Amino acid sequence: MAADVVTVERVSKRYGKRPALREVSFGLAAGESVGYLGPNGAGKTTTLKLVSGISRPDFGSVQLLGRDPFRQRSEALAHLGALVETPAVPPYLHARDLLLYVSRTRAVPPAERPAAVRAAAERLGVADQLDRPFGSLSTGLARRVLIAAALVGTPPVLVLDEPTLGLDPVARADLRAVLRGLGRQGTTLLLSTHLLEDVQEVCERVLFLRDGTLVGDEPVRPVEATGPGGPLRTVRLVFAEDVPADAVPRLGAAGERVVREGPRQVTITFPGGPSEQARVIARAVEAGWPVLTASNPEPDLARRYLERVGREEAT
């Protein structure tokens, strides 16, 4: 298989007698943001360690920009930003010194290192923490400093393991916005997480891993369904009060399908775009339905997780 940036081909890894990965293969194209989902012990962190050059596979191969990240570690690190598990950082080390050290591994020219450190820290909102010892930082601030270290020099490839762990809701939302922005700029991202919301908001593709085996590789948002009249659109209507089943008629749109999901909710699927959706909602109001809200439901990533991986630790 071929990939522009990252190639993992038929990789297997064991810890003693326990298999962690079983012939896992996937590729990441330039500028692609890919989520990596699975329960604890599935092999996600092991995969990230292989891509980051922390360890090497027992069988198969890993390539990062055409290089073996384990055997050609210095060359790979110059193009890779990684946060795998929680690195051990000396508590006396100042945050600025940590980021400066990372800038050297990225081959950032000496004259540009202070600006690169400042830019990464500002992206994560920790520029005012740079002169504090790492051990004095709260869990959330320490996590943000580690993510900032991964972003120093804006490497073309990012590998992040549970980056939102320990962050408050505002910091999580800010980080997701940062990662979306980097994706628009062409950064390639492999994001391992237990939070489906991280994947749904940041990634365009998702890999499902179970017991060391890849069991799914698909778009985060499934390909748009089509019917005889073209692409299908779905709108969910929530009512302000119960509506009897016999009071939910068809609205008259060609190819329309109305599914009652309860006394206060229906979904309507029909061919068309935003203008046809507006007409469908207007017909519902004209029919006397007590419409409270109308929305386009997001793809059900949680349902697909359960189907491919199982119930353990679905989030």
| Predicted confidence band of residue 233 (pLDDT cuts 50, 70, 90) | confident
- Collapsing DSSP states into helix, strand and coil, what is residue 242? coil
Distance CA 218, CA 204 (A): 9
DSSP letter, residue 190: E
Share of the chain above pLDDT 70, in %: 90
Global pTM reads 0.77
Beta-carbon contacts of 315 under 8 Å, excluding residues fewer than 6 positions away, are 194, 195, 196, 302
Q: Quick: pLDDT tens for 88-108.
A: 999 999 999 999 999 998 989
Residue 147 main-chain phi, psi, to 5 deg:
-70, -40
Spatial contact of 59 and 9, defined as CB atoms under 8 Å apart: no
Q: Quick: pLDDT tens for 31-71.
A: 999 999 999 999 999 999 999 999 999 999 999 999 999 99
The token pair at 284 is 């519902």
Return the pLDDT at 300: 75
Distance CA 275, CA 104 (A): 54
Distance CA 136, CA 202 (A): 31
Cα–Cα distance list, 275 to 34, 104, 116 (Å):
32, 54, 46
Query: What domains, with CATH codes, occur in the chain?
Result: 6-219 (3.40.50.300), 226-295 (3.30.70)
| Predicted confidence band of residue 247 (pLDDT cuts 50, 70, 90) | low
Distance CA 222, CA 210 (A): 21
